[in-house]
Amino acid sequence: MVSAVRAELLKFLTTRLWWGMAIAVVVAGAVFAGLFAWVLTSAPAGAGGPGGVPGGDAVQVANSVYTGGLSVGYLLMLTIGVMQIGSEYRHHTITSTFLAQPRRARVMAAKVVALLVIGVGYGLLSLVGSVVVGAIGLDLVGEDPFPSTEILRTLALSLLVLGLWALIGLGVGILIPNQVAALLIGVGVAWIVEPLLGLAFRAFEFGREHIAPYMPTEATNAIVNAVENGPDSVRLSWWGGALVLTAWAALLAGVGSLLTVRRDVS
């Protein structure tokens, strides 16, 4: 199993993709941390609401600043997850992979472990940029950069978030065999369709209380306890959000892995 995980990591690290993604993650974390530090501290407390700046307490503001680049980070992890399996089918290396390791379940388990490791690695890089810039930004506007030890829990959970989104990408990459289509559909749904659906569900009571909080993006916001979009929004606890996002990752990666184990390759 260790050799299988090492092989999956080598497949990723021997391409030029990894360092490009690393630069993007660090830059996104730093830029969004600076932007959020300015925007969230420039409006009066409690100014959240439709069309206004989201509001929250000092802990939520700090959490939002340090995880401001997470939305870009998890889209990049989604992309890596798709490519980790999509490139195998696109370049027909999946055949040699299964010939080298006939136990397909072990191959898929190795991909899951490797993606979690990659997610944690990129999460650490993202935190380097966001914490440094965010702490400086909050200090410059007179806010406490670390108002509670809860910030440390949020930073640790952000690593889990990126790993889980990479697994969601793995599932999308398997369920949509065409790599380009998988990337377009996966990123489009996560970036555009799901936020719009969440907005629509929050327009009526049942959707606001029983549907919107269980969507992947809303679960991610619950995990990091970011500022809220409005006073009437319903949000899960951090551990509830973690369970929901884990369930989404397990469902998509599990179904995709089962299909890969059973599907013929050529």
Q: Kindly report, residue by residue over 89-135, the tens digit of the pLDDT.
A: 777 787 777 777 778 888 888 888 988 998 888 889 888 888 989 88
In whole angstroms, give the CA distance from residue 2 to residue 84.
Answer: 18
Query: Per-residue confidence of the chain (266 residues) as pLDDT tens digits?
Result: 788 888 888 888 887 788 888 888 899 888 988 888 888 777 655 444 445 556 667 788 888 888 888 888 888 888 888 888 877 777 778 777 777 777 888 888 888 898 899 888 888 988 888 898 988 888 888 888 888 888 888 888 888 888 899 889 888 888 887 888 888 888 888 888 888 888 888 888 888 888 888 988 888 888 877 766 666 667 788 899 899 999 999 998 888 888 887 777 66
Domain coordinates in residue numbering, the chain: 1-42+53-262
* Number of helical (H) and strand (E) elements in the chain, helices listed first: 12, 0
Buried b / exposed e along 17-46 (16+ C-beta atoms within 10 A):
eeeebeebbbebbbbbbbbbbeebbeeeee
pTM of the model: 0.83
Contact (Cβ atoms closer than 8 angstroms) between residue 85 and residue 112:
no
Structure confidence by residue, pLDDT tens digits, 197-215: 888 888 888 888 888 889 8
CB atoms within 10 A of CB 139: 12
233-241: long-range contacts, CB 8 A cutoff, minimum separation 24 = 233/202, 233/208, 234/208, 234/209, 238/153, 238/154, 238/157
Q: Which residue has the tokens 């029983």?
A: 210
List all residues 6 or more positions away from 116 whose beta carbon is below 8 Å from its beta carbon.
163, 166, 167
In sequence order, what are the beta bridge partners of 228?
A: 55
